[in-house]
Structure 1
């Protein structure tokens, strides 16, 4: 049975990472990285390597727990992109670059080929994003295929889980910032958080953030049941990513509505979080494209029946009649 809490090991690792980041990856460090030419925080990277964050075993819960804590701290390091490649392909110092330009820093990048995945040098023109980090526009190359289509699907699903965890962590921290502000800011002699117009928005933001965290834990738990070296099922990778994107955007909108113009000022940390959430949300494809992937899985009997671990049934999906009829209309069988 699914336990909505982290496992004891994942909780211990997450607590240790949060403790390590306190004082070493605060607002001043994030701002300094944003002003740096490479958009990175070398001291944070050093601390993570000393901690062993780049040497964790390929256990989805552990990786997702660490990614969530790094998201809470807005850690200016490409850990998620590197950890996903290392866990899925066993390659060190290579960044994920299947759906977006890779982050600056790692020496190599894993890119899609016509039949799977290839490896190229992570060099090319740099481009700073709204999140303050730097991506590399890799020069056009035709790398040799080193991994097949199944490896690509596994890597993409794992990256979606870690990216969703990062967004969920940032959204959770942004809710805390909004709640603290609502408790300090007064209007008509009372904290603005005592007014329903504000408290209800913050409650909705908290529900969205907690829901995103819950689905991250659910997805990581399901992936862990598949055994060592596993990744989420493709449909769960899509679902957890899309949910995190929608939740992150909702949290950003609601918190900024409660804070008014003050939340958008450069001096306050809220905009650091909302900018990164918005930028991260564009990294792994538009929602419409990924929803089409879900539809293709649902309409393929073999893939549909392989789905396990849903809330309402253990295996397979029941497709409504109208969906089957629509599929036959648009894709007639011989």
Structure 2
């Protein structure tokens, strides 16, 4: 499905209004009122088809929503639930309502058993697992990859958090899973690409918010009789941060556009996603540093909301592949293209 720019703009405005009505707080819990509102508006499972229980939106809509969610520091598992719904639907499994946690279960033992598959092992740092109704796991089965839809109540969950206070839980499984199906071809690569793009979009949104708060504060904070934003050194740092924000968001938006054209398939989509996650992850450190330098000590206090953006920048830059991981992917692809193919590769992925 495709949508017009005006429709995407309308969705962006709606999302901003919803998040403004439910301002973010430093909490490890799930804001039930916000999640309920997002569900009622059809913003959860946005790109899932109507037949599978979603809203039938386009990837451009999801990209716009995640940019706003990152900008608002919204502590909700939009990306995780969208990814879990996609994986279940792609495998032909029912997509339940509520929060979904998704993981690639590389360390799991999966074997045939009466009534399904016997699944045993440990998963680490699973996003929002303690709040999930189902755990969606992509694992290696006896005859190839399988998608498991696991009742969260059947798992032993050890609570953990990332630097932003978002749930990143340990999950131990020792159960027979009846609700499973063979994974579609290329599911691992698809999941990695989708996860990286969604995280890049969240990073781009958080970076934009950190810059906006820094520019605002620089115009308000008076030092030596004038706003600190009038000092050349501060202006230079803010300009550097603005360039990092612009390049990261441009890379994320470009990757979303290329991925939408191919449904995340093909080398060009993979390269564009790698560039997006590498660029937004690399930019995150510089933007967070500059934001805190501009704010000074007040930016580190619990009373100031800057930390809601910068802690997410620090946490998300390492999740779904760090910049080092994705730069390695980019380097290998560039080497594979050779000197004659490098320029066409760069121009196709822009």
Q: TM-score by structure 2 length?
A: 0.76
Question: Is residue 95 of structure 1 aligned with residue 101 of structure 2?
Answer: yes
Displacement after TM superposition at 1:295 (Å): 3.7
Match of 2:211 among 175, 186, 211: 175
Unaligned runs of 5+ in 2: 47-55, 90-94, 105-123
Displacement after TM superposition at 1:84 (Å): 2.2
Displacement after TM superposition at 1:311 (Å): 4.8
Q: Deviations over 1:107-150 (max 9, x none)?
A: 22333423435324444111122211212211156977731450
Unaligned runs of 5+ in 1: 1-5, 316-334
SS of aligned partner of 2:160 = strand
| Aligned residues of 1:13 and 1:65 also touching (Cα < 8 A) | yes
Match of 2:254 among 212, 218, 242: 218
Give the distance between the partners of 1:236 and 1:18, measured in 2 at CA. Answer: 27
> Are residues 308 and 65 of structure 1, via their aligned partners in 2, closer, same or farther at CA, if it must alter by over 3 Å?
farther
> Are residues 288 and 23 of structure 1, via their aligned partners in 2, closer, same or farther at CA, if it must alter by over 3 Å?
same
Question: Is residue 116 of structure 1 aligned with residue 145 of structure 2?
Answer: yes
- In structure 2, what is the equivalent of residue 18 of structure 1? 16
Question: Is residue 44 of structure 1 aligned with residue 34 of structure 2?
Answer: yes
- In structure 2, what is the equivalent of residue 53 of structure 1? 43
Match of 2:132 among 95, 99, 106: 106
SS of aligned partner of 1:30 = coil
Give the distance between the partners of 1:117 and 1:288, measured in 2 at CA. Answer: 29
Q: Count how many residue pairs are aligned between Structure 1 and Structure 2.
A: 298
- In structure 2, what is the equivalent of residue 243 of structure 1? 279
Give the distance between the partners of 1:112 and 1:300, measured in 2 at CA. Answer: 29
Q: TM-score by structure 1 length?
A: 0.79
Give the distance between the partners of 1:309 and 1:85, measured in 2 at CA. Answer: 34
RMSD: 3.0
> Are residues 312 and 276 of structure 1, via their aligned partners in 2, closer, same or farther at CA, if it must alter by over 3 Å?
closer
- In structure 2, what is the equivalent of residue 189 of structure 1? 225
| Aligned residues of 1:167 and 1:245 also touching (Cα < 8 A) | yes
- In structure 2, what is the equivalent of residue 330 of structure 1? none
SS of aligned partner of 1:233 = helix
> Are residues 251 and 52 of structure 1, via their aligned partners in 2, closer, same or farther at CA, if it must alter by over 3 Å?
same
Match of 1:234 among 267, 270, 274: 270
Displacement after TM superposition at 1:186 (Å): 0.8
| Aligned residues of 1:235 and 1:294 also touching (Cα < 8 A) | yes
| Aligned residues of 2:161 and 2:167 also touching (Cα < 8 A) | yes
Question: Aligned ranges for residues 143-154 of structure 1 at < 5 Å?
Answer: 146-148=182-184, 150-154=186-190
> Are residues 242 and 141 of structure 1, via their aligned partners in 2, closer, same or farther at CA, if it must alter by over 3 Å?
farther
> Are residues 299 and 230 of structure 1, via their aligned partners in 2, closer, same or farther at CA, if it must alter by over 3 Å?
closer
Displacement after TM superposition at 1:158 (Å): 1.3
> Are residues 125 and 221 of structure 1, via their aligned partners in 2, closer, same or farther at CA, if it must alter by over 3 Å?
same
SS of aligned partner of 1:113 = strand
Match of 1:134 among 158, 167, 177: 167
| Aligned residues of 1:58 and 1:230 also touching (Cα < 8 A) | no
